[in-house]
Structure 1
Amino acid sequence: MEEKQLNHFSHEEHPLILCELQKENDDGSTDQKSAVCYGCQEQILDPAAYSCFRCDFFLHKRCAELPRQITHPMHFLHPLVLLGRPAYSSGCCSCNACGQGHWKYFTYHCSLCEFDLDVSCAILDQREIKLDCHDHPLIQLKRPATIYCNKDVKDSSYLCTICPFWIHKKCALLPTTVKHKDHNHPLLLAYSLPSDYRSFEQSCPVCRKRVHLSDWLYYCGPCRYFVHVTCVVISHEDEGQPSEDIEYPISGEQDQNVVKLPSSNAAQELIARFLLKKDEISSSNDSGKSNIPKKIFMNSHRKHPLVLSEKVQKLDEIQSTTSDDDQEEAKALLLVCDACIEPICSSDDLQYYACAECGYFVHLTCSKLPPELHIPQHPQHPFYLMYNQSKVGLFTCKACGWQTNANFYKCEPCELCICIKCASASMITSSVRHDGHKKHLLTQFQSSDHIHCTACRDTCVGGFGFACEDCHFYVCYDCALLPPTTTQRWDKHPLLLIYPPYFEHPEVFYCVLCEKEINPNCWMYHCRECDYSLHPLSGPQIGRFRRVKFGRSLNVNNHSHPLTHVPEAKYKSFCGSCDNKRLDWEEAFECDSCRFYLCPKCARQRELIDDEE
């Protein structure tokens, strides 16, 4: 072998000589001198290498001939310069590619960015491959990489030489379609959240964490089902029927104590459960029983006696016998209980108490509400039945978060108020069977932590709600007690309460009232015949004022006529007290004969409290 001499910048003391490191013996065997390359710190297995035997210094031929400057796809901004050792005072660095720390040998370095690559990461294998996860050809790096990744792996990696894309080999070879054990449709691999599903925040059903736009995921578009690639558990079972059609056996479902929801008369059914035994409820439904008082007085209405009255027509009966033009007027004639602010027009046979002179009505069950209640979610103190003496005053229920002028239960030491409807829900000690979660029975929350309701995505506060802990399914009282159907004047069909996934309706849902897109991960009302959808809280009868009874009469100072509480003031209406504030279509107190209005704030300040109430 012809001797070749090289003056190399990494070993200025002596020139390096290209020498043979292998020696063939007479018997045909080969002896290999053990040597480690200074530049890359790998064993030299080549027949020859550049050597300085006096200093025991060796370089691979390829390392000795490395270019002094390169442009690397991981660092497009500036060229990288080859150094014999890192440029830092510590004498070592960490490779920005594989993460190897305390590197003290050949380094490609950018002084402006303090960017460093060891030799193995800097000199790429030029064999290119094409993968589905990226538009450009990729080159495999020689060393395992510890790049940031959703997967906790240390694996060889692929690098794009055109754009700054870098990926573990294991991630790059993920299957494009998988079958997840918790979902009955094939899931497709996506390298970011598809643009069609970015209108609302998506969460992974396995880890319960948010699916970020840049996350890799498997998804089922029609079901709006998204799971992180790190959370998917691949199933090898054959695809079954859609999950919505599966009938799940529920242990204990036949128990008579199980509460069935949704219900068109949930509030009254729940109140009756904790007030009366079943035989007492059935006896109270018999109008011929003499044990039901014909007249009563209530603390919330002491001015006149309340008279036992017959039930009113059901809402669907009224609608079936009236024209479209008369239905709004018919709805206005429906009676609303002043205690719980629920209609007295339900499917039960219960009678009610009425003061026709004052327009004050109470369900038979609500007339028997106990004066003291011990609510399991707040065992520290008892709750006492209260009512607002003010006709203007509203309170905010700490369970459902709604403002209401209903009667309520209050914990005086904690100033905690709960409406009648939520109080009745909190007294459920048995399990709940809800159509929104057919897999398992639901129970009361066992935690007071703030948890997001699966139905509406709002926060359930104070432990007031139902849960299936196994499935991380939570539903607040407000959603759990929604009626199964609702009606609107512009649709002759009832709108049904439906639950995701909506695999038969891959299109976007829009609320016909507010004209905003509906989150397809939430419950909604929907008419399949007309393809109309409705936010649960957009309907007038279940929306903003569903916990407020309007029509109550109010006496105020400096005005001779009583005012009526109305949900919407007429067009070009002004408050007669506070600088003529405009009240068009807003909640107000109205004197119809004088066209005089007061906003709620001014009405509260000028209200005359009747001592007899």
Structure 2
Amino acid sequence: MHRKFASILESGSSKKTHRKIDSVLESGSSKKTLKHFSHDHPLIFKEVLRDARVELSCYGCEQPIWGPAYGCIWCKFDLHKQCAELPMVMKHPMHPQHSLTLFPHLPFDEAICRCAACGRRCERFFYTCSKCCFYLDTICLSTMDKIQQTIKHKSHGHLLITLERPALFFCFACGTEHRGTSYLCTTCGFWINQKCASLPSTIKCSNHHHHLTLSFSLPDEYYQFRPNCDICSGELNRMYWVYYCVGCRYFSHVYCATSKAEYSRGCESEVGAQHGDSKLISLPLADQSVDPLTLFTKDLSLQGEHKKATEINHVSHDHPLIFVDKQIHDESHSDSKIPLLNEDKHDENCNGCAQTISVPFYHCAQCNFFLHEFCAELPNKMQHPCHRDHPLLLIAEQNTNFRLRNCACCLKCCNVFMFGCSACQFYLDIRCAFLPNIIRHEVHKNTLGLRKVNNIICSICNGNVCGFVFACDACNFIMCYLCALLPSKFNHRYDEHPFLLTYSPVENHLDEYYCEICEREINPKRWFYHCVDCDQSLHTGCIQSFFSDVHLNVKFGGTLKVDNHPHPLIFAPCPKNKRPRPSCNSCGQLLIENDVAFECAPCKFRLHHKCANDAASKETS
């Protein structure tokens, strides 16, 4: 075999070819043509574009061709410019004792010609030493030349070598797999792809109005809030590179920020397209004075069977109910059948919704029973989008045993009017039953539809939701109903300016945000309330505690007689902030805050709700 190589090298034609190659290369820059020893026809210089329709492959290294190349106009023969200009004879550090000669292909069909660097069979251009049976393909030759070239990248403390092998590797910059040109640290194994190594230090992203700065890891001061990518909403790993805006606390994966594709929040949801925008409820609420139930039902046509009759009979009560359409403030009416409601006396609550009674309303002249006109006009049944299997029936029976049911939306207990399906044990209080099917919210481009979910994370507060949400099916956007009902403005008694609902960090506010109520740090990537004038902030959760009552749907004040206590027991909430905690006189267990109980305050006698009902049932039987 070695004699075959030697004969080819020593032939006159080979020497003539060598001299001819050198002469053509000298004039190739002007004539743009090359006569190469590996091909019979002249090769024409050309520039191959990366987006060319036909992908060309180099005959010498069998790699795709992009950029300068030589090609034959008669044959499908192409060479990279660097492959076409390889020297015929060279010295290499892997085989320093002899010179290596370039061959265009194997001169015989034997499988013993394998590259000394990678072990693969030499097929096309390769260098060989005919005396030592040494072979080196041009790809490994190029790689080793690159290895000898090192670069210093500002992201790493060691020098990086350049690799152009088509190996699959995991990029330490973006956290994804890559092939092709890369940079490797032989000291610690740090490995990044060429595209990441060439990323600009700042970039203008179409998804944000400021320039983004490249950081080689997620800054420690922001990691405690576990921020997500503001483009794809995916998780950010603190070890990988990110683009971010310091003033806005806007973060992005490097591949999201550099992508040319426009990120859309999706198309209009199908359910939203079927409704006219003019009839959609637009949120957020103007301020905390707006009652959601009033807003959601202002255009709703109820059954209206009473039509403001002066006297009605209602299924929830045994006696006739009298209609009242004006507030009485005159003490001279105290003996009349019309109830006196003024600021100096305790206002009555509606037996339908447990809220403070206000005109117009119905009341019973014989009993302490009140119904808002709205509650009296409620339909007997309704179809609900979150329970399509059965209609929901109005539950307005006379609650003599103080039965509590839990609302499937807000999960709060309720002993007043509800809509429910007893077969499925699905119940909704009045406020939740009339949540709109479709809403628009200024924070999201598309309409949001009402959905019932279980263990879903809210995109706004990051809380785990079991109940109702407003969702965008097009882009997997979830907003729990509590976030949806947050008012856009909140007035606090200790601040002369209103707090505004803020969806992102305040521009150029580089300091930390702390809640003025709980004094804990605020994650500005989540919604919060902020007063620009006073530079004060509030958690949305702390604000919700002002207008969210766990007993919102419970009417207290009824009495229950049990045989183990001489006095009637009053239905009441468990005392708050009482230490030590009182205990139930029946089972001995502590009464929990935010629970309900029956009590005789003068005797300090209290019973759990269940214990009192059990005692009353035994007495009845």
* 1:553 lines up with 2:562 in the alignment: no
Partner SS for 1:232: helix
Of the three residues 417, 423, 428, the one matched with 1:407 is: 417
* Corresponding residue of 1:214: 239
Partner of 2:54: none
Instruction: Tell me whether 1:386 sits opposite 2:395 in the alignment.
Output: yes
In structure 2, what is the equivalent of residue 523 of structure 1? 527
Q: TM-score, normalised by structure 2?
A: 0.64
Name the CA distance, whole Å, in 1 between partners of 2:532 and 2:401.
41
* Equivalent-residue separation in structure 2 for 1:494 and 1:542 (angstroms): 16
Pairing partner for 1:292 from 308, 317, 331: 308
Q: Any idea what SS the aligned residue of 1:170 has?
A: helix
Q: Does 1:479 align with 2:489?
A: no
1:181 aligns with 2:206: yes
Gap change, CA 1:543 and 1:258, over 3 Å in 2: closer
Which of residues 376, 391, 416 in structure 1 aligns to 2:426? 416
Deviates more, 1:364-373 or 1:295-304: 295-304
Residue of 562, 565, 571 corresponding to 2:569: 562
C-alpha change, 1:215 and 1:575, in structure 2 (3 Å) is: same
1:364 maps to what in 2? 373
- Superposed displacement of residue 485, structure 1: 4.4
2:382 matches 1:373: yes
Matched, 1:339 2:352: yes
Higher helix proportion: 2
Give the 3 Å change call, closer, same or farther, for CA 479–367 of structure 1 in structure 2: farther
CA shift for structure 1 position 140: 1.6
CA contact (8 A) 2:413 2:554 kept: no
Question: Within the alignment, does 1:62 sit opposite 2:84 as a pair?
Answer: no
Aligned to 1:101: none
CA distance in 1, matches of 2:612, 2:491: 33
Amino acid across the alignment from 2:503: Y
Q: CA deviation at 1:267?
A: 1.0
**Structure 2 counterpart of 1:146:** 168
Deviation of residue 371 (structure 1)? 1.1
Pair 434,418 (structure 1): closer, same or farther in 2 beyond 3 Å: same
**Offset at 1:380?**
2.1
Q: Could you tell me how far apart the structure 1 residues matched to 2:613 and 2:117 are?
A: 77
Moved more, 226-235 or 489-498: 489-498
Contact kept in structure 2, 1:450 and 1:461, CA below 8 Å: yes
Q: How far has the Cα of 1:425 moved from its partner?
A: 1.5
1:432 and 2:445 matched: no
SS of the residue corresponding to residue 94 of structure 2 reads: helix
- Separation in 2, partners of 1:605, 1:174: 72
SS at match of 1:28: helix
Tell me the equivalent position of 1:195. 220
| Aligned residue in 1 for 2:503 | 499
Q: TM-score, normalised by structure 1?
A: 0.65
Structure 1 residues 376 and 170, CA, compared in 2 at 3 Å: closer, same or farther?
same
2:289 counterpart of 1:266: no
- Offset from partner CA, 1:222-252 (integer Å, 9 cap, x none): 3332222222356899xxxxxxxxxxxx999
What CA deviation, in whole Å up to 9, does each residue of 1:270-308 have, x standing for no partner? 13432359xx9xxx9xxxxx9523444544454784653
**Partner of residue 240, structure 1:** none
Deviation of the 1:451 alpha carbon: 5.5
In structure 2, do the counterparts of structure 1 residues 544 and 603 end up closer, same or farther at CA, with 3 Å as the change threshold? farther
In structure 1, stretches of 5+ residues that fail to align are 1-12, 50-59, 67-82, 93-104, 108-117, 238-249, 285-289, 314-329
Structure 2 counterpart of 1:169, from 166, 182, 194: 194
Q: Report percent identity of matched pairs.
A: 29
2:224 partner SS: coil
CA displacement at 1:370 relative to structure 2:
0.6
Say whether 1:456 aligns with 2:481: no
- CA drift of 1:179 comes to 1.5
Q: Tell me how far 1:591 sits from its aligned partner.
A: 2.7
Corresponding residue to 2:606 among 586, 597, 602: 597
Is the CA contact (8 Å cut-off) linking 2:502 and 2:527 kept in structure 1? Answer: yes
> Is 2:269 aligned against 1:231?
no
- Contact kept, 8 Å, 1:432 with 1:443, in 2: the verdict is yes
Unaligned stretches of 5+ residues in structure 2: 23-35, 39-59, 62-82, 98-113, 121-133, 263-271, 330-342
SS in 1 for 2:434: helix
State the AA in 2 paired with 1:477. Answer: Y
CA distance 1:518–1:293, shift in 2 (3 Å): farther
Aligned residue in 1 for 2:111: none
